[in-house]
Amino acid sequence: MGLTSTTVLALSVLCTVLLSLLVVWQWPRLAGRGWRPVVARVGLVCAVQLLLFSSVGLAANKSLLIYGSWADLLGRQDGTGVLGSKAADSPGVHVVGRQKVDVPGAGKPGIGGEVQRIDVQGERSRIVTPAYVYLPPEYFQKGFETKPFPVTVVLTGYPGTAENLIKGLRYPKTSWTLAKEKKTQPMILVMMRPTLVPGRNTQCIDIPDGPQTETFFADDLRRAIGGSYRVGTKPRNWGFIGDSTGGYCALKIALEHPEAYAAGVGLSADYKPDVDADSGDLFHGNKHQERRADLLWALDHLPQGNSSFLVTTSKQGESNLGETKKFIAKVKEPARVSSITLDSGGHNFNTWRREIPPSLQWLSARLAGD
């Protein structure tokens, strides 16, 4: 049973209620003196408290999807790694599984679309990492056999899991619904986490003598997806969206690589990397790369290409309001910027669910399939 399943939460709540009733029923029998009744009372009270906190924690995690699995909760980030120089002998995409989309017609790709679980091997960065690819129904329909589709790369924050993008933020279902309502064009979604190295928040930066995650997202990922799916190869065919650290990546890659991505969306984005115990030393004394990683500095000092940006924040509940306003003010032609500012929100899934539909519509209007 998964960490986010309703069954696990229901069992935890049921056990809490039953144990609480048992304590009330047995309390008179445990009222005696001596160490044994005392230990029994303390043990039962602690057990009830533990189950209660577990139930609250499971309910909060189910709502916010902070952790997507037991392995993620326990820090066992399997399925993610960096290839050595001799390991990446077959760069590209390797499909390892398929699953239904939670929409009407699920199970029939021509009606409900399909989500494929893949492993991506980067040719230049030599990074291998898992991802999910959402293929819209049109991808499987007659008349679209030769049509290239626009692609949007979707990233979680740190340390989120790619499953959160499917279960919690519901990107495939939202994309399917918007296309069904003719509010967006059908798009391929490549969903993954920004963390390409176990236990390290690399934040889409090429680390000297370390993981080349900027190269992976700016070049390798596009090459790999382009070699396996019917997608365009021009910047206007590619968009990028993410939340929190993933939002920073989306803006950074779109800003610094307009030759690769035409548009970037930052939901509650950071505007410079956090250098802490999770990231390790990102720059190794390279001051230029450190300044370049600060998006506000980059807007002032680096050429701005033909890129479009969408940034989101809230008047209350978000800590990035001031920096978002600075980012907007610094964008100059030929680049363009749009924004969504909620009256109130927070750094959480509930806020991002409100922002994702208009963000996908914004992206759809700026991307082309051919």
pLDDT single digits (tens) 244-265: 999 999 999 999 999 999 999 9
Q: If we measure between CA atoms, which residue out of 276, 261, 60 comes closest to residue 168?
A: 60
User: Which residues contact residue 248 at a Cβ distance below 8 angstroms, ignoring those fewer than 6 apart?
Assistant: 203, 204, 242, 266, 269, 270, 271, 272, 273, 295
Q: What is the pTM of this model?
A: 0.82
The residue that leads in pLDDT, 82 or 155, is 155
% pLDDT > 70, the chain: 91
- pLDDT at residue 3 is higher than 60: yes
pLDDT single digits (tens) 288-326: 999 999 999 999 999 999 999 999 999 998 989 999 999
pLDDT for residue 69: 64
Question: Residue 70's pLDDT band (boundaries 50, 70, 90)?
Answer: low
Q: Averaged over 189-193, what is the pLDDT?
A: 96
The alpha helices in 219-367, defined as continuous H runs, are 221-226, 245-256, 287-292, 295-301, 321-330, 349-366
Q: Averaged over 353-368, what is the pLDDT?
A: 96
SS3 label, residue 340 = strand
- pLDDT at residue 85 is higher than 60: no
**191 residue type, one letter:** M
The vertex-56 CA angle with 312 and 193, nearest 5°, equals: 40
